[in-house]
Amino acid sequence: MAALVRSSAAVDPDRPLRLAKRTTNLFRPRRPSPGPGLDASGLTGVISVDDAAGTADVQGMCTYEDLVAVTLPHGLVPTVVPQLRTITVGGALAGLGIESSSLRNGLPHEAALEIDVLTPSGEVVTATPTGEHADLFHAFPNSYGTLGYATRVRLRLDRAEPFVALRNVRLHSVAEVASAVAKIAADGSWDGERVDFCDGVLFAPGEVYLCLGRYAAREEARALRPAPSDYTGQRIYYLSLPERPTDVLRTLDYLWRWDTDWFWCSRAFGVQNPVVRRLWPRRWRRSDVYRRIVGLDERWDLTGRLADLRHRPRNERVVQDVEVPLDQLESFMAWFTGHVPMTPVWLCPLRLASSEPWPLYPLEPHRAYVNVGFWGGVPIAEGRRDGDVNRQIEMAVAVRHGHKSLYSTSTYGRETFDTLYGGLDYAAVKDRYDPAGRTPTLYEKAVQGA
pLDDT tops 90 at residue 394: yes
Task: Give the pTM.
Answer: 0.96
Percent of the chain with pLDDT over 90: 89
Q: What's the pLDDT at 35?
A: 64
pLDDT of residue 33: 67
| CB hemisphere CA count around 289 (13 angstroms) | 13
Domain-located, residue 51: no
* pLDDT at site 435: 96
Closest CA to 147 of 450, 421, 443, 439: 439
List, as own/partner pairs, every contact residues 234-238 make where C-beta atoms lie below 8 angstroms and the sequence separation is at least 24, other chains included: 234/274, 234/277, 234/278, 236/260, 236/261, 236/264, 236/272, 237/261, 238/201, 238/263, 238/264, 238/344
> Does residue 377 lie within any of the structural domains?
no
**Is 239 part of any domain?**
yes
Domain count, the chain: 1
Give the pLDDT confidence of 359-381 residue by residue, as tens digits: 999 999 999 999 999 999 999 99
Backbone angles phi, psi at 431, to 5 degrees: -65, -35
The distance of Cα 245 from the centroid of its chain, to the nearest Å, equals 27
Give the pLDDT confidence score for residue 271 in this predicted structure: 97
pLDDT at 11 > cutoff 90: no
pLDDT tens figures, 22-66: 778 888 877 776 667 788 889 999 999 999 999 999 999 999 999
In a domain, 222, yes or no: yes
User: Residue 255: is its pLDDT beyond 90?
Assistant: yes
Whether pLDDT at 399 is above 90? yes
Sign of CA dihedral 67, 70, 71, 77: positive
What H or E segment, with its residue span, contains residue 348? Answer: strand 345-350
Q: Is the confidence at residue 5, as pLDDT, over 90?
A: no
Asked whether residue 227 is domain-assigned, the answer is yes
398 pLDDT above the threshold of 90: yes
Query: Does residue 10 register a pLDDT over 90?
Result: no
Query: Once rounded to an integer, what is the mean pLDDT over residues 69-83?
Result: 98
Question: Please, what is the average pLDDT of the chain?
Answer: 95
Range of the domain at 245: 163-257
Q: Is residue 244 part of a domain?
A: yes
Q: Is there a domain that residue 230 lies in?
A: yes
Q: How confident is the model at residue 325 (pLDDT cuts 50, 70, 90)?
A: very high
Read off the pLDDT of residues 192-208 as tens digits, 9 standing for 90 and up. Answer: 999 999 999 999 999 99
Q: Answer yes or no: is 205 within a domain.
A: yes
Amino acid 345 reads V
DSSP 87-132: -BHHHHHHH----TTHHHH--GGGGEEEEEEE-TTS-EEEE-SSST
pLDDT tens digits along 416-442 = 999 999 999 999 999 999 999 999 999
Is the predicted pLDDT of residue 3 greater than 80, yes or no? Answer: no
